[in-house]
């Protein structure tokens, strides 16, 4: 079970300068999740040297409700909004990927499985990052996601999908995971360094 303060400290120990806490959320619980995470963030300021972003991973919400929920979550203080995409390992409703890439309130489509070129193209047009994931199971389709994203010019991020401190990784490991998905070296470096910064700037500018 994850304990947010432990995640924050572990990320810091791995040399990370920021972390996004994004618990699984659906329509009934997103407000209470955000409230709790804001309290954790406030407390973690005592450690000073790691920036904490609070958000949600919209999970198993019917595709037709994703855009509405994302809007409400943003108003409730979600700084980073992911959707649990159509992974092969923990499948959600078909159409979840499409509903996510059409919604500009979404920042990242997590583990999008066998995403179509059309959906990846919409992600590119709407500035939504596609996730290359460190998580076992979800990572089965990293190679496919990387290929389609590169083909249409969609931006990728390497995320841990960490549910436990042991799931957290260093930047070096993130680069290896991108390389393992078949992404060329210069592009892997860009994804891990610059794309992550682009998202952080976007979050800061929204505040």
The residue ranges that bind Zn ion (CB under 5 A) are: 84, 110
Query: How far does Cα 96 stand from its chain's mean position?
Result: 15
Closest residue to Zn ion in the complex (CB): 84
Residue number with CB closer to Zn ion (105 or 161): 161
Residue number with CB closer to Zn ion (56 or 146): 56
User: 23 vs 2, 84, 174, CA distance in Å?
Assistant: 9, 11, 21
Nearest one of 36, 128, 130 to 78, comparing CA atoms: 36
**145's tokens:** 């996601």
Distance in Å, CB of 133 to Zn ion, minimum: 8
Distance in Å, CB of 186 to Zn ion, minimum: 29
| Burial annotation 75-97 (CB, 10 A radius, 16+ → b, else e) | eeebbbbbbbbbbeeeebeeebb
Residue number with CB closer to Zn ion (11 or 25): 25
Residue number with CB closer to Zn ion (108 or 110): 110
Q: Alpha-carbon distance 202 to 196, whole Å?
A: 10
Residue number with CB closer to Zn ion (12 or 129): 129
Distance in Å, CB of 161 to Zn ion, minimum: 6
Q: Alpha-carbon distance 138 to 90, whole Å?
A: 8
Distance in Å, CB of 46 to Zn ion, minimum: 30
Distance in Å, CB of 58 to Zn ion, minimum: 9
Q: Centre a 10 Å sphere on the Cβ of residue 45 and count the other Cβ atoms it contains.
A: 9
**192's tokens:** 């891990």
């Amino acid at each position: 079970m994850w304990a947010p303060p432990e995640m924050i400290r572990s990320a810091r120990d791995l040399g990370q300068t920021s972390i996004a806490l994004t618990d699984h959320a659906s329509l009934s619980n997103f407000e209470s999740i955000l409230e709790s995470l804001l309290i954790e963030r406030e407390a973690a300021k005592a450690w000073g040297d790691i920036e904490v972003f609070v958000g949600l991973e919209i999970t198993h919400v019917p595709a037709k409700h994703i855009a509405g929920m994302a809007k409400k979550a943003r108003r409730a203080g979600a700084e980073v909004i992911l959707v649990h995409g159509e992974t092969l390992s923990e499948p959600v409703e078909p159409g979840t990927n499409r509903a996510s890439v059409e919604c500009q309130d979404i920042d990242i489509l997590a583990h999008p499985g066998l995403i179509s070129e059309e959906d990846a193209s919409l992600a590119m047009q709407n500035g939504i990052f596609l996730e290359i994931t460190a998580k076992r199971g979800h990572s089965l389709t990293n190679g496919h996601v990387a290929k389609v994203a590169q083909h249409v010019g969609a931006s990728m991020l390497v995320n841990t999908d960490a549910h436990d401190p042991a799931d957290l990784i260093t930047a070096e490991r993130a680069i290896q995971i991108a390389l393992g998905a078949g992404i060329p070296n210069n592009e892997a470096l860009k994804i891990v360094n610059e794309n992550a910064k682009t998202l952080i700037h976007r979050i800061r500018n929204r505040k």
